[in-house]
Structure 1
Amino acid sequence: MLLSVAYSANIGGTGSLIGTGSNLVLKGLMDDLFPECTELTFATWMLYNVPTMVICVFIGWIYLQFSARKAMRGPSSGASEEKVREEISRRYHDLGPMSFAEWCVTFLMTSMILLWFTMKPQVFPGWVEMIPNGKLIRSSTPSMLVTFLLFVIPKNPRKPGGRAIITWREASERAQWGIVILIGGAMCLAEGCKQSGLSAMLVTHLKSLDALPNLVTVFVLCFAASMFTEVTSNTAVSSILLPVVCEMAIAIGVHPLYLAMPVTIGCSFSFMLPAATPPNAIVYELAKLKIPDMAKPGFFMNMLCVAVEVAMIHAIGFPIFGLGTLPEWARRTVTTVSSTAAPNATDAFTLPTVLTALNYTQPT
């Protein structure tokens, strides 16, 4: 049961653009590298990833029910299960009715999600297209509006002059500032690669990957991301891999999201080690598991979920994101990278050319 909670928590973060830090890294990186990209929105993300999430959760349930359960579950009785149900019911009743502040937070969060979803849904005109200067509105606008209201609406309207639903001290102490720093670091890394000439070098040398089938490339990258995130946070892994993956996609002539989306989702498929995600660590401690007890079923879950992701990017990713061709905004990015990195270079970038453009002198 505890493993099922950890698996579903990891998989559930893929269903929404705000579900986990790696998703935000991809969105921020796409907005920074490809500002003309309109394919990646809150609506298109959910249209693609919610079905994938549901399939992965169902596969995880099947696997734990009929495979891992036999190896890990000890004998149980109906009496113990009844005690669990009674405890859950008692804790639920102890919560009591929802307060005014809780209703406000529920309403504001629902409104924010609806504003995100209908902002640029692609399937019908979004609300930003119906207002003047709608192009100036970014994805952060609904969240900033909701945040402002949380600082203004009183927690208890019957007590004039009372505190708001949230205070600055609570926000500053509980906000995940590390994710903000990592996203900013990913953007700086991408810009540094472009300005230093590393992007141009990657575009040249990664063209050899044309010899590999795209299906193999996607599977290898997605599986590698799921393995890397077993030993560090998914946000850190995505911050390192995604700038390189976007350049790789341009080098082999495919849509950047064709490689970047599976890598981003693969960063959430970390089921093997306690250090991979907080849900894994909590379950590892509560259940008093050993590393092999968690690693064996986790490895098979990694493989199964990566296979599902690779299948779904080809099944529904192509029509939702238009992955069939390299978009014009990506072609212009190639030209920009080339002209920025080495202005006097020819069509083919080589290491000596880039080093010369950077005024690099080889030591004797």
Structure 2
Amino acid sequence: MNNIKQNKKKYIGLLTGIIFFLLTCIFPAPESLNYKAWLTLGVALLMASWWLSEAIPLPATGLVPLVIFPILDISSIKQTAQGFSHPIIFLFMGGFIIGLAMQHTGLHKRIAYYIISKFKKGPKSIIFGFMLGTAFLSMWISNSATAIMMLPIALSIITVLNENKIKPKNNNFDKALVLSIAFSATIGGIATIIGTPPNTVMAAMLSELYNYEISFVDWLKIGLPTSIILLPIAWIILTYLCFPINSETIVKDSIIKNKIKSLGKISQDEILVGVVFIFTAFLWISRKWISSLLENIIPIGAINDSSIAILAAIILFILPSNEKNKKRLIDWEVVQKIPWGALILIGGGLALASVISSSGLAAWIGALSSNFDAISIILIVLLSVAIIIILTELTSNTATASTFIPIFGATALGLGQDPLLLIIPATLGASCAFMMPVATPPNTIAYASGHINITDMVKAGVWLNITSLIVIGIIITLILGPVFGVELNKIPIWVN
């Protein structure tokens, strides 16, 4: 039955997108809009319909601009393809390779078990330990990979408790633990610019549309506080509000100790990957300081977050492995596991965003948005976040971000505001959908475990969605101005 509904949704989305596109080809453009911008609107509506309905695979929709824009003479193939070679693509690629190296050597498990082992006072503490470990890993590894890795660890603890009959008759501990993996994987990804696709899409589109760079450290200043606030709130919602856990559930220290013991002594490969990881994080954090220090030797701007990520990847290919049958820490066979589709999806979004700007469509949307002047800008910000959260519950957060970030940027300009005022909260909102299994990969993975049903997820997720909206509002009010220099009713110089 679900498959029939899904297929129906896909066919409707496929046809809707084609109809939107054909209408712009058949009917003339409005007087205030040039014909290229009108056709671009048709392509944008087609891609949005296909992305939101997943009519075809998301990366496949990302390839649409490479075909349609040159044919319609909107943009040449050379110009369109530039979106697929944007520096942000290589930042994400380097981040993926670092994450794969951690998984390949087993370092990610050692980090997770170590963090969990520090929380041994009771079931609620154990859940918080899982959440902390999951969130930390999700800052550096994709949230789906983190959830896939952490869930079996959680399930093994649930199995031992069931076998030893040391848990109460209700399944609150099971449900809270499984959902804690999903929620913390998503929350942890918010913290860094490489932690989740919406963050990377946002950074890439700001660079493409406005030539504005958000560095790793810049985003950390707003993403990390958001994660730090949401993580304990999610824990409270799970263990106190929705699935109360009493002291009958006791997780023995020996369970975690046996898991750590099974990993054996830390290997040379794990140590080397850990050193590269710390070295990369240090360069990301101190990049601007290093650039200013070496400005007489290396041109300003030569060192950026993308080049640092690729440097780390190259080092991992060079460093020797101490394991049998392995010459280097990673090889190309390992790197082939990179989610290349995500990179193509981002490239397609950038190609579309570039033409939305260059064709004049963004300016037209901005002019229409000026009609909302009478509404409080704070209300508009919160409404934008709410829309993104609701849409993300029904479709991919990457697709939602790719579709709406250019629109929100143009809307902000039409209201005489800094584009960051709508783009950053919308980006945060794209990672704050917790109610539905389809909302995020970690939610899907948790649901597939069989330990929770949709009612359980909605029960906890609705509270976390509402809380996220409030937290984002507070974060934007307190941090956006000091960190990014955003001022109300003022368009920054860099927009031009």
TM-score, normalised relative to structure 1: 0.82
Cα deviation for residue 105 of structure 1 reads 0.8
Aligned to 1:97: 265
Aligned to 1:20: 196
Q: CA 1:61/1:299 → structure 2, altered by over 3 Å: closer, same or farther? A: same
Distance 2:342 2:326 in 1: 32
Cα deviation for residue 164 of structure 1 reads 0.9
Distance 2:209 2:272 in 1: 37
Do residues 328 (structure 1) and 493 (structure 2) align?
yes
Aligned to 1:155: 321
Do residues 66 (structure 1) and 66 (structure 2) align?
no
Do residues 5 (structure 1) and 181 (structure 2) align?
yes
Choose from 44, 57, 68 the match for 2:231: 57
Aligned to 2:248: 77
1:17–1:46 CA contact under 8 A, matched in 2: yes
Distance 1:163 1:286 in 2: 36
Cα deviation for residue 268 of structure 1 reads 0.7
Cα RMSD, aligned residues only: 1.9
Cα deviation for residue 290 of structure 1 reads 2.2
Choose from 301, 311, 326 the match for 1:145: 311
1:25–1:183 CA contact under 8 A, matched in 2: yes
Cα deviation for residue 9 of structure 1 reads 1.2
Q: How does 1:1-364 map to 2 (within 5 A)?
A: 1-35=177-211, 37-38=212-213, 40-70=214-244, 77-78=248-249, 81-83=250-252, 85-120=253-288, 126-131=289-294, 132-156=298-322, 163-172=327-336, 174-324=337-487, 325-330=490-495, 332=496
Cα deviation for residue 76 of structure 1 reads 7.2
Cα deviation for residue 63 of structure 1 reads 1.8
1:2–1:287 CA contact under 8 A, matched in 2: no
Cα deviation for residue 47 of structure 1 reads 1.6
Distance 1:97 1:248 in 2: 55
Q: CA 1:82/1:60 → structure 2, altered by over 3 Å: closer, same or farther? A: closer
Cα deviation for residue 55 of structure 1 reads 0.9
Distance 1:156 1:133 in 2: 37
> Which runs of structure 1 show a deviation greater than 4 angstroms over 4 or more consecutive aligned residues?
none
2:191–2:223 CA contact under 8 A, matched in 1: yes
Distance 2:251 2:457 in 1: 27
Per-residue Cα deviation, 1:47-106 (whole angstroms, up to 9, x for no partner):
222122111112112222321014xx6x8734xx235x4322211111112111111111
Cα deviation for residue 185 of structure 1 reads 1.3
Per-residue Cα deviation, 1:130-169 (whole angstroms, up to 9, x for no partner):
3221223332111111111111111128x8x951111112
2:280–2:309 CA contact under 8 A, matched in 1: yes
Distance 1:297 1:111 in 2: 38
Distance 1:148 1:45 in 2: 25
Equivalent position amino acid for 2:494 in 1: W
Distance 2:329 2:466 in 1: 43
Distance 1:88 1:274 in 2: 29
Equivalent position amino acid for 1:29 in 2: M
1:233–1:277 CA contact under 8 A, matched in 2: yes
2:209–2:357 CA contact under 8 A, matched in 1: no
Per-residue Cα deviation, 1:203-262 (whole angstroms, up to 9, x for no partner):
210111221111111111111111111122211111111111111111112221111111
Aligned residues between the structures: 315
2:363–2:414 CA contact under 8 A, matched in 1: no
2:178–2:451 CA contact under 8 A, matched in 1: no
Equivalent position amino acid for 1:163 in 2: K
Percent identical among aligned pairs is 32
Return 5+ residue gaps in structure 1 as ranges: 121-125, 333-364
Equivalent position amino acid for 1:251 in 2: G
Cα deviation for residue 266 of structure 1 reads 0.6
1:129–1:135 CA contact under 8 A, matched in 2: no
1:4–1:64 CA contact under 8 A, matched in 2: yes
Q: CA 1:133/1:52 → structure 2, altered by over 3 Å: closer, same or farther? A: same
Distance 1:186 1:140 in 2: 18
